[in-house]
Amino acid sequence: MEQFKVKFKEQADKLGAEIKTLLQEHGNTVIGETTLAQIYQGMRGMTALVTETSLLDAQDGIRFKRRSIPELREQLPKAKGGAEPLPEALFYLMMIGEIPEEKDVENLSAMLQRRSHVPAYVFDAMEALPEEIHPMTMFVVGIMALQNESVFAQRYANGLNKKDYWEATLEDTLNLIARLPHIAAFVYRRKYKGGKMVQPDGMLDWAANFAHMLGYDNEEFKELMRLYMVIHADHEGGNVSAHATHLVGSALSDPYLSYAAGMNGLAGPLHGLANQEVIKWIFEMQQELKTDAPTAEQIGDYVKKTLNEGKVVPGYGHAVLRQTDPRFTAQMEFGKKHMPDDLLVNTVWRIYETVPGILQSLGKVKNPWPNVDAHSGALLVHYGLKEYEYYTVLFAVSRALGVLSSLCWDRALGMPLERPKSVTTAAVKRWLNKE
Ligand code: NMX
Ligand code: MLT
């Protein structure tokens, strides 16, 4: 068995034993109360899931094994000559629980490389779709076609022992992560570059090879992809894409089916599609104001117009965070280092100076600060990737690292079918003696 798998199994067995003791000793401990408002209002603040890969703090943002985004940027291994962390290294951290050595990352990159072949029928399935279809739909169709390769589904059909679920899930996880960049690059090249594909380069790391297949060989863009793939990878378990993947996986739907379900959630404008909405909103603002560099006053008026039309300001607000998202700050730092004079990037920063005050003044927005999506598009536009409808596919490729790691943990820890109780309003009224 590959060393990576052996190490993961050791970690999972250790944690599994700890959880068993915890439940034996504290299984009946009450850890919170649920209000009526919470069950009607999206379960905000209700703890109901265990996700091992990362933990979100409302003030400090996301942490992976206690490491913040700035710490990850510092501590994770980098590509030769690069300054941004390698996403393979973050995957290793989420699976094995420690910062990998450079040779561990090289082994993992090589293992993904060996598994990266995508069968032709997957491209044919995507090719059969009309070109105008949204890139996220084309991407998910590709994943669904690839489901035919699921090791978990095949082994389950042949009578898989419960004890071996984890290994089949990990097989699918590695294969899927290895193949996603090729599928995602196909979507981009077919939709925006006349179907002219760029062949993968087996000498490159996972993110750099993705950049290369998209058609962007600029070293700085490769660095951006490494950073992008790291910061979008995971955001604990309650966000729509992670939660959907976990939920569907709990029915023992294989990783392809589960990941596709999660990505259909990522494709919603309140979640991952917000990255395309941000740049579309800025482009429309520039067009309406007839300037590439709107002033703070002009931006303020445009924000108020957006709100008056009953729309949200994309890229701002969060269900858990109550501060500027450190993923936004990491991208701002990248912008300051590589493109301090870019007009669009400067507009993103001016929006940051303007929007929070306006949202705060509404008195109802719990978090007026920017999230990850407020910044990502402007950096991509700088390098020529202007096709904003594609942006959520980039988010999806990165998110695979987190949600699929979590799925491996779910199966290794023997997590059961997820099936909470629901009620009708009539039943609520009966509880409250109102009927
Ligand atoms: N612009 C305008 N209104 C907002 C915004 C915003 N950016 N954020 C929250 N509100 C409103 C929200 O619509 C709600 O109004 P109402 O009571 O009239 O329905 C009110 O403020 C209270 O909402 P919150 O409790 O602050 O936010 P909630 O937890 O329900 O929703 C989001 C969180 C992220 C869905 C919300 O902030 C939003 O719609 N933001 C814009 C879309 C976005 O950027 N999404 C990306 C999130 C990150 N990601 O990548 O997934
Ligand atoms: C995410 O990265 O999943 C988003 O910030 C949404 C969330 O955490 O709810």
Give the tens place of pLDDT for each residue, 144-181: 999 999 999 999 999 999 999 999 999 999 999 999 99
Judge contact between 394 and 377, C-beta under 8 A: no
- What single-letter DSSP state applies at residue 99? P
Gap from CA of 317 to ligand 1 centroid (Å): 5
Residue (of 231, 234, 224, 232) closest to 79 by Cα position: 224
Asked whether residue 235 carries a pLDDT value surpassing 90, the answer given is yes
Whole-number pLDDT of residue 294: 98
Judge contact between 135 and 268, C-beta under 8 A: no
pLDDT in tens, 96-132: 999 999 999 999 999 999 999 999 999 999 999 999 9
Residues 274-382: name the CATH superfamily.
Cytochrome P450-Terp, domain 2 (1.10.230.10)
Whole-number pLDDT of residue 266: 98
- Spatial separation of the C-alpha atoms in residues 408 and 411, rounded to whole Å: 5
- Single-letter code of the amino acid located at 242: A
- pTM for this prediction: 0.98
> 435 falls in which pLDDT band (50, 70, 90)?
confident
Which atom, in ligand 1's list, is nearest to the CA of 395?
Answer: 50
The burial of 29, by beta-carbon neighbours within 10 Å (0-12 exposed, 13-18 middle, 19 or more buried), is given as exposed
Asked whether residue 1 carries a pLDDT value surpassing 90, the answer given is no
- Single-letter code of the amino acid located at 154: Q
Residue 274 CB–ligand 1 contact under 6 Å: yes
Q: Within 10 Å of residue 424's Cβ, how many Cβ atoms?
A: 8
Whole-number pLDDT of residue 105: 96
> 287 falls in which pLDDT band (50, 70, 90)?
very high
Residue 235 CB–ligand 2 contact under 6 Å: yes
- Residues 26-39: what's their mean pLDDT? 96
Q: Catalytic: 318?
A: yes
Residue closest by Cα to atom 8 of ligand 2:
239
- Spatial separation of the C-alpha atoms in residues 61 and 50, rounded to whole Å: 18
- Residues 337-364: what's their mean pLDDT? 98
List, edge to edge, every strand of the sheet that includes 67-68: 55-57, 61-64, 67-68
Q: Catalytic: 271?
A: yes
Residue (of 269, 308, 296, 300) closest to 389 by Cα position: 269
Residue closest by Cα to atom 49 of ligand 1:
271
Which atom, in ligand 2's list, is nearest to the CA of 239?
Answer: 9
The burial of 38, by beta-carbon neighbours within 10 Å (0-12 exposed, 13-18 middle, 19 or more buried), is given as middle
User: Cα dist. 88→85, 142, 208, 407 in Å?
Assistant: 9, 22, 11, 17
Asked whether residue 5 carries a pLDDT value surpassing 80, the answer given is yes
Ligand with minimal distance to 234 CA: 2
Find the distance separating the first CA and the last CA of the chain, reported in whole Å.
62
Residue (of 149, 104, 103) closest to 125 by Cα position: 149
Asked whether residue 419 carries a pLDDT value surpassing 90, the answer given is yes
How many whole angstroms from its chain centre is CA 111? 22
Residue 374 CB–ligand 1 contact under 6 Å: no
- Residues 299-323: what's their mean pLDDT? 98
Percent of all residues in the chain with a pLDDT value above 90, rounded to a whole number: 99
Whole-number mean pLDDT of the chain? 97
The Cβ-side half-sphere exposure at 265, using a 13 Å CA radius, reads 19
> 434 falls in which pLDDT band (50, 70, 90)?
confident
* The token pair that represents 380 in the structure block: 């991509």
- What single-letter DSSP state applies at residue 226? H
Asked whether residue 381 carries a pLDDT value surpassing 90, the answer given is yes
pLDDT in tens, 193-225: 999 999 999 999 999 999 999 999 999 999 999
Which atom, in ligand 2's list, is nearest to the CA of 372?
Answer: 5
Pocket test for ligand 1, best of 270, 322, 328 (most atoms within 8 A of CB): 270
Gap from CA of 239 to ligand 2 centroid (Å): 5
> 262 falls in which pLDDT band (50, 70, 90)?
very high
- Residues 375-391: what's their mean pLDDT? 98
Whole-number pLDDT of residue 358: 98
